[in-house]
Homo-oligomer: A and B are copies of this chain.
Amino acid sequence: MTRERLYLFDTTLRDGQQTQGVQFSTEDKHRIAELLDGLGVDYIEGGWPGANPTDSAFFEAKPNISKATFTAFGMTKRTGRSAENDDVLAGVLNADTPAVCLVGKTHDYHVTTALGCTLEENRENIAASIAHLVAQGREALFDAEHFFDGYKANPEYALDCLRAAYDAGARWVVLCDTNGGTLPREIAQITRAVIDSGIEGARLGIHTHNDTGMAVAGSLAAVEAGARQIQGTLNGLGERCGNADLVSIIPSLLLKEPFASSFETGVTKAGLKSLTRASRMLDDILNRVPQRNAPYVGASAFAHKAGLHASAILKNPDTYEHVDPAVVGNSRIIPMSNQAGQSNLRRRLAEAGIAVEKGDPALARILEIIKEREAAGYAYDTAQASFELVARGELGLLPQFFEVKRYKVTVERRKNKYNKMISLSEAVVVVKVRGEKMLSVSESLDETGSDRGPVNALSKALSKDLGPYQAYIDDLRLVDFKVRITDGGTEAVTRVVIDSEDAQGRRWSTVGVSPNIVDASFEALLDAIQWKLIRDGAQA
């Protein structure tokens, strides 16, 4: 059976640029373009050449794209000049891309208030601009701004504008729900009406925004109604609530019916395996924290916390997974918490290299301890390394490498000799290692002389001299530190979660709980060190 071709048009580099807090550099744009090309999208819209220095520089350098059609964005020519003489349009054409997408108005109200020209002039501007692109040998696309609202206000005029672009030779006319307020059912109805008016579905695109949380559904509804191009962005970047998220749309197109057997896209099943990586890479380039609960690619997307679910998953993943995480390059997580059962616990321990027989009474005890500790404020679903230590303790597999006899931390804020307020922390830690007492002291200043606070001083003092174990922890680095006040049963306590990293790139999380924040941090630090000593095979 031949499947129909569906085209994916990515506008991360153009509409995605409108995201609050996002500002691409030219270098970012190059990396993202390569990422998109590797994923397999059909069109990459790079920005608006001439609109700002970053975009101009990006188009000048030309990204390294092998497969996708590189596209420049601009707007239809203005009234009172020819397409040939419109300098803004010329700037777009000068970028010399194989495809050009021009936005134009199709909502009568916007034409008269924002453009201040007549309806007929606007229609002519669209036709002339698209004809000019075609005459220059470019693939022409027309983004019909506010199309759905325009169609509801004046269907005849909205369709006239669309047809102007279509008849002038646009390869694609794209229905844009610019304000994002149109619901999927209405998108489908209007898309069908457009096709019924004589515009071929094979030349019709859809561009939605997520203002009602339904951009993905709206895009798919348009495809079901006959549209054959979807415009969207990676991770749903875009103004306000973002554009349609291609990262959610692509797997549904490739894996779900009626789409999977009807269509093929530039992204293949093989390309789909790189989806999770592409999504995280984009966040990495933008220095954003990936959204844990993102459909298909989020770190939590295949995390099974409920005990009943987790045990069923172990028997058969189908029971609580709608697709296999591997097909989108993601993986399953069964977090350890008091909701998880014994079989889940055994599997978790096996992953940490600890084999426990089925039915071992220690399993029930471990679950009981975890439950008690979670009631006291601990949280093990992220702090897996601390969880492992608790289990080892109960199984008699926890070597005692050293003992902390005492510590003392001082935090001081006062004026220095230049009469400027400064702060400084100092920590003293006393540890007993193989019968020997070691005293270490550290202060909180970093290489630049800035104070990093008491936890930093304590961490440095603790890892300064651990005698025979020192070599194991020299590369240990504290990379993140999260604190929250939580319920510890009868009173509020502080929970600290620490993420550590070592030279091998391993990353692990530990947790400490106490009403005293320094103490909670200290507990998490100790766990971090102990876990590393065990993993690296240190002998007690």
State the A residues within 8 Å of B (CB). Answer: 18-21, 23, 25-28, 52-54, 110, 113-114, 178-185, 210-214, 216-218, 220-221, 224, 236, 239-242, 245, 248-249, 251-252, 256, 287, 291-296, 298-306, 308-309, 312, 315-316, 319-323, 333, 335, 337-339, 371, 374-375, 379, 381-382, 404-415, 423, 425, 444, 450-456, 480-487, 491, 494, 514-519, 522
Inter-chain contacts of A415 with B (CB < 8 A): 405-406
Shortest beta-carbon distance from A234 to chain B in Å? 13
- Min C-beta distance of A539 to chain B, whole Å: 26
Q: CB distance B293 to A453 under 8 Å?
A: no
Which of B322, B338, B407 makes the CB contact (< 8 A) with A181? Answer: B322
Chain B's nearest CB lies how many Å from the CB of A486? 6
CA distance A312 to B21 in the complex (A): 21
Given the known interface contacts A322-B179, A411-B516, the answer about A494 and B453 at a Cβ–Cβ threshold of 8 Å is: yes
Tell which of A180, A300, A335, A522 has the most Cβ of chain B within 10 Å.
A300
Q: A20-B335, A212-B296, A480-B485 are in contact. List 14 more A-B contacts (CB 8 A).
A: A19-B293, A21-B381, A23-B486, A113-B316, A211-B295, A212-B248, A239-B309, A240-B298, A240-B304, A423-B519, A451-B514, A451-B516, A452-B516, A481-B485
**Residue with the highest number of chain B CB atoms closer than 10 Å, among A245, A304, A412:** A412
The answer to whether residues A514 and B220 also contact, given A316-B113, A405-B414 and a CB cut-off of 8 A, is: no
Contacts of A312 in B (CB 8 A): 110, 113-114
| A371 touches which of B52, B240, B299, B322 (Cβ 8 Å) | B52
Which listed residue (B241, B299, B301) contacts A293, Cβ 8 A? B241
Chain B neighbourhood of A315, CB < 8 A: 113-114
A249 — which chain B residues lie within 8 A by C-beta?
Answer: 213
Per the bound structure, the CA–CA distance linking A288 and B210 in Å amounts to: 22
Contact B239 A487 (CB under 8 A): no
Which residues of B are found within 8 Å of A184, using beta-carbon distances? 184, 217, 221
**Which of the residues B212, B294, B454 comes within 8 Å of A517, measured between beta carbons?**
B454
Which residue in B21, B113, B287, B454 is a CB contact (below 8 Å) of A382?
A: B21
Instruction: Specify the chain B residue showing the minimal Cβ separation from A298.
Output: B241
Contact partners of A333 in chain B: CB under 8 A: 20
User: Given contacts A484-B483, A515-B453, are A20 and B305 in contact (CB under 8 A)?
Assistant: yes
A406 to B298, CA, bound (A): 47
Pair B211/A514 contact, Cβ less than 8 Å: no
Which residues does chain B contribute within 8 Å of A485, judged by CB atoms? 287, 480-482
Q: Which 8 A-B pairs have the closest CB atoms?
A: A181-B322, A25-B487, A453-B516, A217-B217, A483-B483, A406-B414, A213-B248, A213-B295
Residues of chain B within 8 A of A374, CB atoms compared: 23
Known contacts A322-B179, A484-B287; A406/B413 CB under 8 A: yes
A300, B243: Cα distance in complex, Å: 13
User: A454, B301: Cβ atoms under 8 Å?
Assistant: no
A303 to B20, Cβ gap below 8 A?
A: yes
Does A292 contact B21, Cβ atoms closer than 8 Å? Answer: yes
CB distance from A92 to the nearest CB of B (A): 15
Which listed residue, B303, B339, B517, touches A453 by the CB 8 Å rule?
B517
Once bound together, how far apart are the Cα atoms of A304 and B245, in whole Å? 19
CA distance A293 to B209 in the complex (A): 11
Q: What are 7 A-B contacts defined by CB distance under 8 Å?
A: A20-B292, A20-B299, A20-B382, A21-B292, A23-B486, A183-B220, A451-B514
Chain B proximity of A229: nearest CB distance (Å): 19
